[in-house]
A = this chain, B = another copy of it.
Amino acid sequence: MVERHPPSAALAASLQDRRTLAQRYAAVRAQSMRLVEGLEPEDMVIQSMPDVSPTKWHLAHTSWFFETFLLEPHARGYMHFDDAYRYLFNSYYEAVGPRHPRVARGLLSRPTVRDIRRYRAHVDTAMRRLIENADDATLTKIAPLIELGFNHEQQHQELIVTDIKHVLAGQHEMPAIRPAPKPSPSGVAAMDFIEFKAGLIEIGHDGASFAFDNESPRHKSYVAPFRLASRPVSCGEYAAFIADGGYRRAEFWLSDGWAAVNERGWEAPLYWRHDGDRWTIRTLSGERRIDEREPVCHISYYEAEAYAAWAGKRLPGEPEWELAAVGVAIEGNFLDSGRLHPMADSAHYTPGLRQMFGDVWEWTRSAYLPYPGFHPAEGAIGEYNGKFMSGQMVLRGGSCATPADHIRPTYRNFFPPDARWQFSGLRLAEDI
């Protein structure tokens, strides 16, 4: 994933309430720091692969975002904490200027974690003052950008979790930074297939509240009749695919996927390890045996696609998923639960779609492309999403590392088809 955002059209009046805005600011920023509790400074420096950023980089970059897009242009007399940070913590904004190379983020020992904590405090003080003291016209103008900053920081909260998981899983023994969860109730609900009728529907965001620019404009799309599985594929089901030679039989795989399997030696989801006759899994609560009832995660699009082919099904498309999700309550296992791992669903739920939100991002079969009529925002902020619209696939629904108030039915997450370090799983669909 990469960060995105945009000037949401309509800002609720409540956001213009300075107090509410300041409280929300404080809450979002505090949430980031809570995530790094239990980490050592050494953990927070390492870039375990090019896609991963060091924890301290995330903590700094989210502050750079507020500094660059809010404080620099709008906070009179704002003094930079350190001029070098403008270069070091720019992620990819060409319009803002040159930046430290992404692949070399793990070579920065300085600034230290302590320095970056001080940087965050510096930015927080300035942001509090800006929210307090800006004149009404300015505040109205910048409130959408501040909200974008909240959403931006929430995206990095998810990345902090997935990135540090990758770093820690690379240790000789996986350190546990979260307590082991209680065992879930036994049994897993059957996988039903819910039927949806054909129709010319509308998808995309309607602009009534915050959304990223890539969710717009709302537009018509024709959907043929289909069925969608009532829940994501479980670890037990995925283990059956493996046991049936799933990773050794070319016939299930896209050509690029088969190449990835062979070149990288994939034989199971990321973080699974064969230990004698059983599979273990590395989680942020340490390594343990897999729970067959949990949704499978840390699989690439290629693996999701191959599983579906093996199962005689397919992945849903974006319009199908969104059509199905519209009526579903946004509840589930999110970052806020603190588990940081997908959970087996209780078998007692009522029939219907379950776990559409939270637990695992669900790969769709839709490429990440602009919606008809899409236009990125003007200026640097316009680089947030649009320029990544090639070579990636869309995922939907949020995960156990997504803040609960960050997700919505129209939300489009996107990653390259070989990415596995996100909490990515799958839900099956089929034609009627």
- Would A45 and B167 be within 8 Å (CB), given that A221-B222, A373-B431, A387-B255 are in contact? no
The interface centre, meaning the residue of A109, A200, A369 with most chain B CB atoms within 10 A of its CB, is A109
A253 and B109 contacting across the interface, CB-CB below 8 Å? no
The interface residues of chain B lying within 8 Å CB-to-CB of A43 are: 109-110
Q: Is the CB of A372 closer than 8 A to any CB of chain B?
A: yes
Q: How far is the CB of A271 from chain B (nearest CB, A)?
A: 15
Taken together as a complex, chains A and B put the C-alpha atoms of A113 and B56 apart, in Å, by 18
0/1 per residue, A40-71, Cβ < 8 Å to B?
A: 11111110100000001000000000000000
The interface residues of chain B lying within 8 Å CB-to-CB of A95 are: 250-251
The interface residues of chain B lying within 8 Å CB-to-CB of A255 are: 2, 92, 387-388, 390
Taken together as a complex, chains A and B put the C-alpha atoms of A84 and B372 apart, in Å, by 51
Q: Is the CB of A365 closer than 8 A to any CB of chain B?
A: yes
Q: Can you pick out 26 interface pairs between chain A and chain B where the beta carbons lie within 8 Å of each other? A: A42-B42, A42-B45, A42-B112, A45-B109, A94-B251, A100-B172, A106-B106, A107-B167, A108-B171, A109-B167, A109-B171, A110-B172, A110-B175, A222-B222, A224-B372, A253-B387, A254-B388, A254-B389, A254-B390, A255-B390, A301-B390, A302-B390, A317-B372, A367-B367, A367-B369, A390-B417
Q: Is the CB of A37 closer than 8 A to any CB of chain B?
A: no
The interface residues of chain B lying within 8 Å CB-to-CB of A84 are: 172-173
Main secondary structure on chain A at its contact with chain B?
A: mixed
Q: How many copies does the complex hold?
A: 4
Q: How far is the CB of A90 from chain B (nearest CB, A)?
A: 13
Say which size band chain A's interface belongs to.
35 or more
The interface residues of chain B lying within 8 Å CB-to-CB of A220 are: 222, 224
- Would A106 and B46 be within 8 Å (CB), given that A88-B172, A367-B367, A388-B255 are in contact? yes
Taken together as a complex, chains A and B put the C-alpha atoms of A296 and B2 apart, in Å, by 33
A107 and B42 contacting across the interface, CB-CB below 8 Å? no
Taken together as a complex, chains A and B put the C-alpha atoms of A45 and B39 apart, in Å, by 14
Taken together as a complex, chains A and B put the C-alpha atoms of A65 and B317 apart, in Å, by 35
* Interchain CB contact (< 8 A) of A172 among B87, B250, B317: B87
A170 and B390 contacting across the interface, CB-CB below 8 Å? no
B390 and A257 contacting across the interface, CB-CB below 8 Å? yes
0/1 per residue, A166-181, Cβ < 8 Å to B?
A: 0110111101000000
* Interchain CB contact (< 8 A) of A40 among B40, B112, B301, B365: B112
Taken together as a complex, chains A and B put the C-alpha atoms of A92 and B200 apart, in Å, by 39
0/1 per residue, A202-243, Cβ < 8 Å to B?
A: 000000000000000001111010000000000000000000
* Interchain CB contact (< 8 A) of A109 among B46, B107, B302, B387: B46
The interface residues of chain B lying within 8 Å CB-to-CB of A45 are: 42, 45-46, 109
Taken together as a complex, chains A and B put the C-alpha atoms of A370 and B109 apart, in Å, by 40
Q: How far is the CB of A381 from chain B (nearest CB, A)?
A: 12
B107 and A372 contacting across the interface, CB-CB below 8 Å? no
The interface residues of chain B lying within 8 Å CB-to-CB of A109 are: 40, 42-43, 45-46, 167-168, 171
The interface residues of chain B lying within 8 Å CB-to-CB of A365 are: 369-370
